[in-house]
Every structure is written in structure tokens, then in C-alpha cells.
Amino acid sequence: MRFGVNYTPSKGWFHSWLEPDWDCVAHDLAQIADLGLDHVRVFPLWPILQPNRTWINQRGLADLRHMVQLAGEQGLDVYSDVLQGHMSSFDFVPSWLVSWHETSMFSDADAVQAQADLVKAVYDCLKDVPHFKGLTIGNECNQFADPSHPRRMKADASDVEGWLRALLDPVRQEAANRGQIMLHSENDAVWYEDGHAFLPRQASNTGDLTAIHSWVFNGTAQAYGSLSQETTRHAEYLVELSKAFADDPRRQVWLQEIGAPENVIDPADTSRFCTESLEHALDCADLYGLTWWCSHDVDRSMGDFPPFEHDLGLFDQEGQVKHIGKAFSDLVREHRSDPVAPARSTAVVVQCDHEGNPTMRAACAPTGSVFEAWMELSKAGERPALVSSIVAADPQALAARGISRCIEVGLRPGTVYNTVSDPSIEQG
């Protein structure tokens, strides 16, 4: 089992890519390694790496390579994103996509090719660095196609499919030959929001594994309470939900982001939320790894963050490990050698169309009928999985997943789901 953290530099946050303080970065990474973690996920900023559509900043690539080397010196494996993209309510989109050059990163052929070029350049820059393990093409880029985004970019499911293939395919075989992975990540709108351009089947089948980002400010903690089983099992549920749409019954899932946002989790409960959430997730078979958000708190001198975004770190502003950091470290040491979780034999059925996507994604969202049926079984002591109605109708497919009992539920949409983490931002 891999246990790691999303690295947020303690000095200057991600703006530090403008002028990295390498002594500070080295100290941060040593602190992370001292917690007993084995990997970091790092986030270069897209406008710094590619400020012009046809020009990639070689100095930016060199800085990224140096950060990966510093992490490797601490014994930390490194996964890098490419397109940043969206971070903590801020968008980092290069000027050649907006304003006078307004276009869609998903459907404009020149823009897609530019992004593919950047993915290849980042991979080529890092592929021979010891401890480099793979790329995520971007952080929750699906939010740029969401109706809630104030400058939504044009995209439909076909555009998304082409975009994913264009960015992943040119590099994927070489990465596989080197034992490295290529994947993409979405926020939970892909699972919960009807009409969203990114589809569950794309999330669960494209790339080398499925990435899950579990954030309970989406209505879960608000509806059920910060330490309810619905809240502490949300990550486990998302891992299992993603498997319902995977063709490969043994496809691995990476819990790539999970954190304890204090706008919905009482600060006194964050350590317990961390421990209980991750222990539930560890009961999922085929789990690739757990990566906490995030390493270091954001300096409060930085303006315009949603307030809770300042306090998500394992280390505080003074560089001291917080109670939640100790809780995470203790959990890692306790569970690093756990046996692989067994398969689950009972499954809640997700009604799907002929292409294998849910006919009502909102039923899978918090307070929806699929979500609540799964949670009730879990609270009763069962270990439920989820399967698509296509799999449920196929005895061989069920057997491949170890499922012997299927439970069908009526479709009722959830009513509390929200794609926006900051309640002061009005959704479109």
C-alpha cells in the first residue's frame, strides 16, 4: 500500500514556482519523509510551463525535474500533474485560452495539440529521474466544463474522449514499459452530476487506473454530520462506485485526494475523521494508494482563499506537525503491512444505459437513493460493492467480481450535492 501526500510548498504555496526556494523545498520534503510517507504528488503551474501555446518554458521544466530529484533524495516516490489547472478555488489557465483568445481546451484542435505537447515534454523531462512514478494529466480539469464554472469551456462527451486520448496515448506505452503510470483526475461531478461532460465510464476505464477525489464539503458532511458514517465512508463509497463502471474487475483505484475541510468538519474532529475515513477506504480491494490533501498549511497572509483552504495541511505555518499529521503518520505505520482487502459479495445496482453510464447520476450523490442504500448496508455491518445494471445481468461478470447478491433500488436524486467548495461562490 502506498501512503503519501499532495505537496503544498510551505513558502509561497504554488506561486513558489516563480522563484523556488530549494532549501525550503528540501526541508519540506524531509518533513514529509519523517512522517513515514512514501510518495508525494507535485503540481507545476500550467501558465509557467506553457505561457504561449507554441512555447514551453525549459526553465520551468528544469525546476520541476529538480523538485523530483530532491524528493527522490528523501526516498519519496513522485507523481507529477501537468495542467494546473484548478487549485483551491483558483484557476491557473494560460492567457492563450482566455479573453481575446477565448477557446476551449477540450474541443479546439490547436489547444488540444498544445496540451499534448506539454504532457510529452513533462514526461520526457522526468522519465529517467529515479523515484519518478507517473503523470496525472491535470488536476480536476473537468471543472472547466462544468455549468458551475464562470467561464465554462465548450465540451461534450466526445470532446472529452478525444482530449483524454490525445494527451494520454502518445506517452502511455513508453511509460508502461518503464513501470510508470499515466492517468487523469476529476472532481466528483463525474460521478454525481447529470449532464456533466465527463462520463463515469471514461473515469473508470481511460488511463492506467482510476483517480478518486473525495471531498465531503459537497453536501455530505452538511447533510449527515462531520463524523457520521456517511461522511467518514464517503471515500470508501467513491472507490467502490468507480468500480461499478470499470470493464476490468481488478482495475486499481487511487484515492488521490482526501482532506478534512474545517468548514464542514469540526476542527476538534479532523484527526478522527482522517483515521476513520482512511481505515474505511483501506477495506477496499484493488486500492493503489492513499494521498492526503495536503502537506503544509497555506500562509494566512495570502488573500482570497476560502478560509478552510489555509488549514488543510499536516504541518502548520510554523512547520510544526499538527495533530492530524500525527494521526495520519500513526495510521500509516499501523496499516502499511495490512493484507489485501477481500472482495465484496453484496452489491447495490446502479441503473445504466446501453453504454454503461448511469441513467441518473444524481441518485449516486449524497442523499440520493443509491448512496443511501449503500450506506444503510454499510451501517448494518455489510461490505457492499456497487455494480452497473449491465454487470448485474451478466452472471460471468458478477462472478469475476465475486458478487453473489445484487440489490436493486429505485431512482431518487440527491438534493444536497454541490460542486463548489466555497459557499460564497454562487453556482451558475
The yes-or-no verdict on residue 296 having pLDDT over 70 is yes
Single-letter code of the amino acid located at 94 = P
Q: Give residue 420's pLDDT band: very low, low, confident or very high (50, 70, 90).
A: confident
Same domain, 94 and 165: yes
Which has the closest alpha carbon to 287: 328, 344, 356, 361? 344
Total Cβ atoms within 10 A of residue 94: 21
pLDDT in tens, 173-217: 999 999 999 999 999 999 999 999 999 999 999 999 999 999 999
Residues 109-133 have a mean pLDDT of 98
Q: Give residue 116's pLDDT band: very low, low, confident or very high (50, 70, 90).
A: very high
Q: Is the residue at 25 inside a domain? A: yes
pLDDT in tens, 146-171: 998 999 999 999 999 999 999 999 99
Kindly give the pairing relationship between strand 77-83 and strand 39-42: parallel
Give the domain CATH number at 155.
3.20.20.80
Residue whose C-alpha cell reads 507517473 in the numeric block: 134
C-alpha to C-alpha distance for 80 and 136, rounded to whole angstroms: 6
What residues contact 344, with CB distance under 8 A and at least 6 apart?
Answer: 240, 285, 383, 384, 385, 402, 403
The answer, as to whether pTM is greater than 0.95, is: yes
Domain termination residue (choose one: 280, 313, 335): 335
pLDDT in tens, 79-107: 999 999 889 989 999 999 999 999 999 99
Q: Is the residue at 413 inside a domain? A: no
Q: Is the residue at 289 inside a domain? A: yes
Domain termination residue (choose one: 313, 335, 357): 335
pLDDT in tens, 336-373: 999 999 999 999 999 999 999 999 999 999 999 999 99
Predicted pLDDT at 425: 52
Mean pLDDT of the chain: 96
Torsion sign over Cα 200, 43, 135, 343: negative
Helices 109-126, 157-177: crossing angle, 10 deg rounding: 20
The yes-or-no verdict on residue 22 having pLDDT over 70 is yes
Q: Is the residue at 423 inside a domain? A: no
**Rounded to 5°, angle at Cα 315 from 226 and 234:** 25
The yes-or-no verdict on residue 427 having pLDDT over 60 is no
Predicted pLDDT at 423: 63
The secondary structure of the chain in percent helix, strand, coil, rounded to multiples of 5, reads 40, 15, 40
Percent of the chain with pLDDT over 90: 95
Same domain, 290 and 364: no
Same domain, 251 and 351: no
Give the total number of structural domains in the chain.
2
Same domain, 360 and 232: no
Single-letter code of the amino acid located at 39 = H
Same domain, 314 and 368: no
Same domain, 370 and 228: no
Q: Is the residue at 424 inside a domain? A: no
pLDDT in tens, 399-411: 999 999 999 999 9
Domain termination residue (choose one: 287, 311, 335): 335
Q: Is the residue at 199 inside a domain? A: yes
Total Cβ atoms within 10 A of residue 100: 6
Same domain, 364 and 330: no
Domain that holds residue 48: 2-335
- Does residue 174 contact residue 221 with C-beta atoms inside 8 Å? no
Residues 277-297 have a mean pLDDT of 98
Predicted pLDDT at 419: 85
Same domain, 240 and 369: no
The yes-or-no verdict on residue 428 having pLDDT over 90 is no
Same domain, 235 and 359: no
- Does residue 141 contact residue 86 with C-beta atoms inside 8 Å? yes
Predicted pLDDT at 426: 47
Same domain, 16 and 86: yes
Q: Is the residue at 341 inside a domain? A: no
Q: Is the residue at 229 inside a domain? A: yes
The yes-or-no verdict on residue 298 having pLDDT over 60 is yes
Same domain, 121 and 24: yes
Same domain, 356 and 255: no
Kindly give the pairing relationship between strand 405-407 and strand 346-350: parallel
Residues 295-321 have a mean pLDDT of 94
The yes-or-no verdict on residue 53 having pLDDT over 60 is yes
- Partners of 407 in beta bridges: 348
